[in-house]
Amino acid sequence: MTMTVDSRVADVRRHELAAFLRSRRERITPDQVGLPISGRRRTPGLRREEVAQLAGVGVTWYTWLEQGRDINASEQVLDAISRTLRLDPHEHTHLFTLAGAPEPPLEKDCKLLSDNVHRMMAKLEPFPVCVRNARCDILAYNRAYDWLMGGLDDIPFEDRNTLIQCLTNPEWRRRLPDWELNIPRVVAGFRAAMAEHLAEPAWKNLVKRLRQESDLFERMWKEHDVSGERIVLKRYLHPDVGLLRFEFSYLYLGRRSEISLATLTPADEETAAKLPSSF
């Protein structure tokens, strides 16, 4: 039977996806993902059944995916495989492209930010500024915000989320003296925002991860509290300059956009005086 151009392209893409998955599986050792090493291993890196187990998918289904079979993978499954194989943002996007899936939401949101937004954030220094979506992902930030939070540049792209960092990163907790007071409101606001995104894999995967990694989040999530209240005054404890107090202002990047630019303006002269004069 003669193949059409579209079917040939799809066939090439499936085989490229299979080779890509194998190459990424073979570079990860069992100890990197917390698996015991027992006996001799003929396969470099992880075995197929180990990837399937860690990603929560069927062994047969994942094997077919690596064999280039004509099967469809949901965004949720691709996300799970990406996390298991520890793909970086570019590899994550490449995985979705080869699988013929829609562009990953986080990368799609980042592309909505124009050069003008980045220039504006730079001009606002020394005031800390960040851009976030409704899922609490940090899409962009200036050097002042990086200084305030202790090095966002060192945090993997996929982990730059305020909920993940507040609930799992001790360094962030140390810099937020009102953390225990504010985190219930943050979680309640996240739950309220999720009402518009209940079927979206990126939101469900984030909730699943937080419930697994944070007992506090698990407890608060079961309480079903919701809130639309914004935190407009926030305190930070910087290891070099001490206590800082900021007022928050939010600028939404479009009439219907859920992406907002948050500017932290010093709430008093003492805070303003402590900000670095240059970066």
Report the alpha-carbon distance of residue 77 to residue 62 in Å, rounded: 10
CA-angle at 101, arms to 98 and 107, nearest 5°: 95
| pLDDT for the residue numbered 1 | 47
| pLDDT for the residue numbered 241 | 96
Instruction: Write out pLDDT tens, residues 83-104.
Output: 888 887 778 878 888 888 776 6
| pLDDT for the residue numbered 204 | 85
| 208 CB-near residues (< 8 Å, 6+ apart) | none
Q: How far is CA 235 from CA 106, 173, 175, 229, in A?
A: 28, 12, 9, 17
| pLDDT for the residue numbered 6 | 64
| pLDDT for the residue numbered 228 | 78
| pLDDT for the residue numbered 185 | 92
| Average pLDDT, consecutive stretches of 10 residues, N- to C-terminus, the chain (279 residues) | 62 85 86 72 81 88 88 83 82 83 67 80 94 90 95 87 95 94 92 86 86 94 87 92 95 78 95 90
Q: Find out whether 36 and 57 touch, Cβ atoms under 8 Å.
A: no
Instruction: Write out pLDDT tens, residues 58-90.
Output: 899 899 888 888 888 888 888 888 888 888 777
| 230 CB-near residues (< 8 Å, 6+ apart) | 189, 248, 250
Report the alpha-carbon distance of residue 163 to residue 137 in Å, rounded: 8
What token pair was written down for 23? 């190459």
pTM of the model: 0.68
- Encode burial over 73-94: b for 16+ CB neighbours within 10 A, e otherwise: bebbbbbbbbebbebeeeebbb
Distance of CA 87 to the CA centre of its chain: 12
